[in-house]
Amino acid sequence: MKLHRRSLLALALATGLTAPSLALAQDDTIKIGLLATFEGPFTVLGEDGERGAMTAVEELGGTAGGKKIEIVKGSSDASPDSAVRAARKLVEQDGVKVLVGPLSGDEGIAVKDYAKTQPGVTFLNGASAAQDTTFRDPAENFFRFGTDGAQWMAGLGTYAFNDKGYKTVAVVAEDYSFPYTQVFGFMAEFCKAGGKVPSKSWVPIGNKDYSSVIAALPDDVDAIYVALGGADAVNFLTQYQQSGGSAPLVGGSITVDQTVLTSQGKTREVLIGTPAAGPTADTNDAPAWLAFTEAYKKQPNAFPSPSLFAHAYYINMKAAILGLNEVNGDVSDGGAKLREALAKLSFDTPTGKVSLDKNRNAIADIYLTEVVEGPDGNLLNKLIKVVPQVNQTLGIEEAEFKALGAVSRDNPSCE
Amino acid sequence: MTAVVSAPGAPARPTVIDRIGAAHIPLAAVLLLYPAFASDFFLTQIGGYSLIFGMIGLSLMVLAGYGGMVSLAQITVAGIAGYAVAILGLNNSGVHGFGWPWWIVVPFAVLLAATASALIGWIAVRTEGIYTIMITLAIATAAFYFAQQNYTIFNGFPGFNGLRAPEFWGVNWRDPVPFYYLCLGCAALAYAAVLYCSRSTFGLTLQAIRDNPRRMRAIGYHVTAHKVFAWFLAGLIAGLAGVLLIWFNGRVSPGTINVAAAINVLVIAVIGGLKHPVGPFLGAVVVVLMQTFAIDIVGAERFNTLIGLVFLAIVFVSPDGLLGLWSRLKPHLAQQPLRSGP
């Protein structure tokens, strides 16, 4: 038992001694926590989020309010539990007063709940895009300068119904809060225009075999709305194509991004002409976007074009630094002044002006796109049109929007 | 922790200190005084969390160390208790939340978990060795996917959030110091119970079954019943830890009971050592410290590699984990004064 006693004593002493010293921050630096998925199925997305955040830090000279920025990273595996644990460590052990993150939908809701117990810390969302992170039961100290998954769908439902002429659409989406929010955003417009959604299939993240899903799809639909990400999208599209499916597709924001478009095989033919919408577009030729792309490409291992995760982390990190600049890096009052500054903050991003509503959720431009074959044979999301300044209630009166109910598997419905 | 052996001809009754084990007293003192010099973070996120995972590891140690049955379903058993508390107690998710008082919910949840554990055991004891591992892994995986896809009972992927530890006797038991003592109390209880049990008739029978089931069966023992009862007891410990775990997280979701978490429990038990009930707690401290601070040492890209390497190093140096390391070092240390004498 001697070792146990001694080692525990040593451990206890070491932890007791090191704990206060670790928590001490120097006066001329300011710590910003960066929480993203550096492990698990969304690692690639989390790493791109980090590139976006670091682009913002470097663009603003690595200082905030005259103090040097020190980034402290926390890692989650896309599960809400791990996100909260990482956030706790950053806040309670490393002593960050400003935290940017997390990345995934349900993580955002969990961190928002945690934010309520830490009123002295200012939280800015990463790329998490569930609606109820800010819309229902929001936290006073949680800000989202990126938009949510329903906002990302702005314009798509109307475009699919009016311009593409799809009257009935079946939905295939992953089974968690972010795709619920995307489907909600799409159906809000599509059903209002007169469209019908006779069937919705919810599949677990990481599903490999879609044969039962494909078999259950109704034959008489005009198109299929697909809100799947990364490998899930590739697996579904390949199997759908192999099983002889030929219905045109409508894409969610992360369904037809570069990770899917660059995959090899016959999915290309299925994908060309697929309309989608999101906070970014590959062929955006606005000078601000091109400048952002150039700055982003200086990051190690960057993609040819920043993903929407890099974009969202960039905007939130930039907002955090701009807010800190306004209060000269002073968060000694528990961040009250910083939060006041953030609530009023409005700035020009690579994708247009962004400002906050009263729930501290962004109002920003959304891009309607369509997959085309580029000049060198690569598939690209061609910009169709910009939907300006979309708010969280999608232009609907707030009371009326709230009456639509919380997003879920069954809501909304228009069979 | 050697058993008390009286010299022949001197049948002295063991004193109270001997019965408790002398080494336990300073250990208890350090653990009791830990809140005096630890920050809140170290108290709950390291201390409380290690004690909770130590308990889940302990439930595995009971099965593997005394019963020779390696189970990967211990986190599932803990999760069953956690989900029971979320469903029958109060939650913020707007699904179920019957609002039963904690003093009904907690015993019910722990008993439910123990019963489920006994059922898992009843299936698993028909197999041996690697097949037990496979069958419990299958159960853990199935439970994870079922919880993730079932919305009527488990609320699917998001699970339940807004779970709060009860407040009674004027204490909010999720505050850092009370929560630490709550975890310490439960862990100490489980630890003492396992120590006691291991020397009881049942414990000795179980160890005999581990060593030679065929002979025990021939003598007339009901091997299956003993094994299943061991699963039940392990389930009590894992269930109690599961209740603490969801109070600690404030939420429960399929991520709490996924395969990575199941493997984590096995790693904790193996790192610590399966020879003595203190092993899983040692393992939990090492694993929790590594998982919390590795990212500060090597950065976000490769910190899981470092964690893996450290675990590999421990198991490579000592197949019996940290406990085995000590039993190897002890003879050398004991001889040290002789060698360095004048």
State residue A142's pLDDT score.
Answer: 92
Give this complex's ipTM: 0.78
Count of positions (residues) in chain B: 342
Residues A27 and A111 in one domain: yes
Question: Is any Cβ of chain A less than 8 angstroms from the Cβ of B1?
Answer: yes
**Residues 6+ away with beta carbon under 8 Å from A177:** A105, A106, A109, A130, A131, A132, A407, B157, B158
* Residue A30 and residue A67 share a domain: yes
Regarding whether A123 and A60 lie in a shared domain, the answer is: yes
Mean pLDDT of all residues belonging to chain A: 85
pLDDT at A98: 92
Instruction: Flag whether residue B246 sits within 8 Å of chain A, measured between CB atoms.
Output: no
What is the residue-wise DSSP string for A213-253?
A: HHHHS-TT-SEEEEE--HHHHHHHHHHHHHTT----EEE-T
B115 close contact with A: CB closer than 8 A: no
A82: which chain B residues are within 8 Å (Cβ-Cβ)?
A: 255
Residues of B in contact with A39 (CB under 8 A): 304
* Co-location of A201 and A215 in the same domain: yes
CA-CA distance, A204 to B144, in Å (whole number)?
12
Closest CA to A338 of A132, A119, A129: A119
Q: Are B245 and B139 in contact (CB under 8 A)?
A: no
Contacts with B249 from chain A: Cβ below 8 Å = 81, 84-85
Mean pLDDT of A324-331: 88
* Any domain includes A369: no
Tell me which residue of A67, A77, A128, A76 sits closest to A98, measured CA to CA.
Answer: A67
pLDDT reported for residue A4: 52
* List of chain A residues whose C-beta atoms are within 8 Å of the C-beta of residue B161: 80, 109-110, 113
The residue type of B299 is G
Looking at chain B, the whole-number percentage of residues with pLDDT higher than 70 is 91
CA separation for the pair A324, A65 (Å, rounded): 5
Out of A8, A73, A84, name the one closest to residue B27 (CB). A8
* Residues in chain A closer than 8 A to B38 (CB atoms): 12, 15-16, 19
pLDDT at res. B13: 64
What is the pLDDT averaged over residues A144-155?
90
**pLDDT score of A14:** 47
Q: Does B157 touch chain A (CB under 8 A)?
A: yes
Q: Which of B20, B41, B141 to mutate to test the interface with A (most CBs of A within 10 A)?
A: B41
Whether the per-residue pLDDT at A23 is higher than 60: the answer is no
Which structural domain range is residue A303 located in? 6-147+286-364
Q: What is the DSSP string of B261-308?
A: HHHHHHHHHHHH-SSSTHHHHHHHHHHHHHHHHHHHHH-TTTHHHHHH
Residues A129 and A240 in one domain: no
User: Do the domain assignments include residue A391?
Assistant: yes
Residue A122 and residue A162 in one domain: no
Chain A residues in contact with B17 by the CB 8 A cut-off are: none
Out of A3, A75, A80, name the one closest to residue B300 (CB): A75
Is some CB atom of chain A closer than 8 A to the CB atom of B14? no
Q: What is the average pLDDT across A145-149?
A: 88
Residue-range domain boundaries for chain B? 41-259
pLDDT at A18 over 70: no
Pairwise pLDDT comparison (B303 vs A273), residue with the higher score:
A273
Ranking A45-54, A267-276, B283-292, B328-337 by mean pLDDT, the lowest is B328-337
Higher pLDDT, A353 or A207: A353
pLDDT higher than threshold 70 for residue A244: yes
Q: Does B251 touch chain A (CB under 8 A)?
A: yes
Distance of CA A152 to the CA centre of its chain: 10
Structural domain count, chain A: 2
Confidence bin at B17 (pLDDT 50/70/90): low
User: Across the interface, do A81 and B149 touch by the CB < 8 Å criterion?
Assistant: no
Q: What is the pLDDT of residue A117?
A: 87
**Residue A409 lies inside a defined structural domain of this protein:** no
Kindly determine whether residue B38 and residue A110, on different chains, have CB atoms separated by under 8 Å.
Answer: no
> Which amino acid is located at A250 in the chain?
V
Per-residue pLDDT reduced to its tens digit, A275-310: 999 998 888 888 999 999 999 999 988 888 888 889
For residue B149, list chain A residues with Cβ-Cβ distance below 8 A.
175, 204
pLDDT digits (tens, 9 = 90+) for B98-121: 878 888 999 999 999 999 999 999
Average pLDDT of chain B, as a whole number: 85
Which tens digit of pLDDT belongs to each residue from B131-144?
999 999 999 999 99
Q: Does A1 fall in a domain?
A: no
Pairing label, strands A169-174, A223-227: parallel
Residue bearing the bigger pLDDT, B118 or A176:
B118
pLDDT tens string B34-54 = 888 888 888 888 899 999 999
Pairwise CA distance, residues A149 & A347, whole Å: 21
| Proportion of chain A above pLDDT 90, given as a percent | 25
Write down the pLDDT at residue A19: 45
B254 contacts on A by Cβ (under 8 Å) = 79
pLDDT at B36: 82
Q: Nearest CA to CA, how far is B170 from chain A (Å)?
A: 20
Interchain CB distance below 8 Å, A11 and B31: no
Q: What is the DSSP letter of A409?
A: S
Taking the CA atoms of residue A223, residue A229, residue A232 and residue A233 in that order, the dihedral angle to the nearest 10 degrees is 40
A272 and A383, same domain (yes or no): yes
How many interchain CB pairs under 8 A, A with B?
130
**Can you tell me the mean pLDDT for B140-149?**
91
Question: Tokens 């009326």 — which residue?
Answer: A400
Distance in Å, alpha carbon of A55 to nearest chain B alpha carbon: 17
Q: Is A12 among the domain residues? A: yes
For residue A415, is it within any domain?
no
A32 and A141 assigned to the same domain: yes
| A10 and A135 co-located in one domain | yes
A26 pLDDT tier (thresholds 50, 70, 90): low
Q: Nearest CB to B253: which of A19, A79, A114?
A: A79
Q: Which residue has the higher pLDDT, A348 or A26?
A: A348
The sign of the torsion formed by the CA atoms of A6, A12, A15, A19 equals negative
Calculate the CA B174 to chain-centre distance. Answer: 20
Same domain, A270 and A323: no
User: Does A59 lie in the same domain as A111?
Assistant: yes
Residue A59 has pLDDT above 60, yes or no: yes
Check A110 against B30: CB less than 8 A apart.
Answer: no
Q: Are residues A25 and A119 in the same domain?
A: yes
Mean pLDDT is lowest, of A18-27, A169-178, B175-184, for A18-27
CATH number, domain containing residue A48:
3.40.50.2300
